[in-house]
Amino acid sequence: MLPRGRAVGTSKLEQPTERHFPVGAELGPTGCSFRVWAPKRSRVEAGVVAAECAASSPALRRTAVDRMPAEVAQLDCAIRFVELRPSSDGYFEGTVDDVVAGDCYGFRLDDSSQLFGDPASRFQPWGPAGLSQVVDATTFRWTDQDWPGIDGEGDVLYEMHIGTFTPEGTWRAAAEQLAELKRAGMTCLEVMPVAEFPGNFGWGYDGVSMFAPTRLYGEPDDFRAFVDRAHAEGLGVILDVVYNHFGNIDNYLGQFSDDYYTNRYQNEWAAAINFEGPTGRPVRDFFVANARYWIEEFHVDGYRFDATQCVYDDSTPYILGEATAAARQAAGNRRCYFLGENEPQDVVHLRPVEHRGSGLDALWNDDFHHSATVRLTGKNPAYYSDYLGCAQELIDCVKRGFLYQGQRSQWQQKPRGTPTSGFSASAFVSFLQNHDQIANSATGERILQLTSPGRYRAMAALWLLAPQTPLFFQGQEYGASTPFLYFADFAGEAAAAVDRGRKDFLAQFPSMRLPEEQALLAHPCDERTFARCRLDPSDRERGGAVYDLHKDLLQLRRDDPIFARRRADLIDGVPLSPDAVLLRYFDDGGDDRLLFVNFGGDLFIAPTPLPLLSPPARRGWAPLWSSDHPRYGSEHTPPLETDSGWRIPGEAAIVLNAVAAEKAPAPEAHRRTHAASTIKTER
């Protein structure tokens, strides 16, 4: 048994000073204020290790490697113990003098012989099983005082995983790439979860220290510098956060309280979090503080909330609504942007907090991805079986966002989705790739590798010229060749369970049920799987045509006055065939646009009793942009309108704009036009 009281030094317990957050360690003028929620304990002591001592302690480093709780008896440096005072509702608190930034600490609970890290730790230098570190957030010198924030209107999102975004896998290395992302047309980075998680690699969705940016990508100030640099480049940063479960490995919350969890609900990944009733109030306060924390101390511009369908709470206000309201207040005059993943596609999350909504600005739209994937690959196994990938589906995605708005899903055998009427197009985030959908395959291949170049170019035009908010996945902008697979650094039975779970999940795809196919699957816990997912910087040079395609389309989306409106209510469409889409973007002044998207072979239309093809009064159609252009690795585009009808080239997308009749090219059968892109960008 370890001795009680201070082991060394003159530290003493002072009266608690005013705190900024309800839990964690905060430096103040009289020392460091500690506050922890531990209602199942009768006695809590803070054990503090000086920074220089902690840095030179092999025992601390061994503790991190072994992923075991920090055993105080093994530490080869002095520890100062100070008993914290019990407060109301199961909290223990106190201010300890002689504590500075960089000092490490843990909590000794009742008669335990171990120190446990702080559930609200601001940094875990040795991982979630090691001691916590005191952090001074006030020393970083921000330069983004004039940054206005973002609100999602007109933004182009870019999902990124810091550990694989660069060969180094650090905040500092990622920061060096921000200017190029801005040049490509991105406006807001969506960073996959960074809350401290076990192991040396992972997606981040198994976080256990929700206030601590993982040590794998650098120190907290490296994260701050990344955000500051992004704002200087004109890029917003939103953080992917997981409020639906805690990770199971190296998680010691149960040592402090049994009330972090509830058995009232069944969660897909772990025990459901307890947000309800008196015992749930401190848990709510923990997450509401977390929603404030990343905005106040790291200047992020908002959040992407993971799997909101598993954030269970029957309270008023709903926990996500309470969290977003607190986050907006914390941001002050800066605009915030909040989006959510919600598999059932429930628009209640887009409703205001006072209507028991989540106050989100947007939801991910899986329907668009699934329909587009079926169109591009010609296959619809497993959950794709609810989609035909036909022209009408794609038109409905552009006009209405979700496809499933309450109809019965044959795959799920229940109704799915909710009506989208009344919501703006920007409230729906569309994508051709994201971390989940790329990894939900045997090899983690990108969609560009699963379809023809022409079909991809055509779909990219439909996607990026639609009014919904587009989201890229890292490397997609230049056609990255690297896969993205599921990876998590677990060992022993945990690793075996993850491997079995991955195979079971992929078995929903008929091709993945065969033993010989499952034998080829990458092992999630093999470091080589993680290494394969790192982006290859040379792909950017090799992918020049794909890069130019995306840059030109994003510039057209941003600068063309009709596409820049992003108004779904001013768009109409008609299938020209099961493979071909015609969209018309209307303008009160007659400055209309036509977008032809053909995924099949060459299409001839005659006669043409289609009102959408008729030009505005005293105007005609002229070519504005074509995916069939040498700049994108294709050929020049012949005229669409001829003396005998309309000819739509196969596997292509073409934009026409309305011009004065005298400037419109005559419909001549044999005249050729380049239909060259009017967009000027540099490689």
Q: Tell me the β-bridge partners of 658.
A: 621
Q: Which distant-in-sequence residues (6+ apart) come within 8 Å of 472 by Cβ?
A: 156, 157, 158, 159, 186, 431, 433, 550
Would you please indicate which residues are annotated as catalytic (active-site) residues?
Answer: 306, 341
Please tell me the distance from the alpha carbon of residue 41 to that of residue 252, in angstroms, as a whole number. 14
For residue 455, the SS3 value is helix
For residue 437, the SS3 value is helix
Please tell me the distance from the alpha carbon of residue 119 to that of residue 427, in angstroms, as a whole number. 34
Please tell me the distance from the alpha carbon of residue 505 to that of residue 577, in angstroms, as a whole number. 35
Q: How buried is 62 (Cβ within 10 angstroms: 0-12 exposed, 13-18 middle, 19+ buried)?
A: middle
Hunting for tokens 């401290």 — which residue is that? 196
Rounded to whole angstroms, what are the CA distances from 640 to 83, 392, 650, 667?
80, 22, 12, 8
Please tell me the distance from the alpha carbon of residue 186 to that of residue 532, in angstroms, as a whole number. 25
Task: Give 665's DSSP letter.
Answer: P
Please tell me the distance from the alpha carbon of residue 463 to that of residue 644, in angstroms, as a whole number. 31
Across 567-598, b (16+ Cβ under 10 Å) vs e yields: bbebbebbebeebbbbbbbbbeeebbbbbbbb
For residue 83, the SS3 value is strand
Q: How buried is 52 (Cβ within 10 angstroms: 0-12 exposed, 13-18 middle, 19+ buried)?
A: exposed
Alpha-helical runs (H) found in 560-628: none
Structure tokens at 44: 């809590």
Task: Give 137's DSSP letter.
Answer: T
Please tell me the distance from the alpha carbon of residue 606 to that of residue 486, in angstroms, as a whole number. 49
Torsion 442-443-444-449 (CA) sign? negative
Phi, psi of 514 (to 5 degrees): -70, 135
CB 132 within 8 A of CB 103: no
CB 453 within 8 A of CB 633: yes
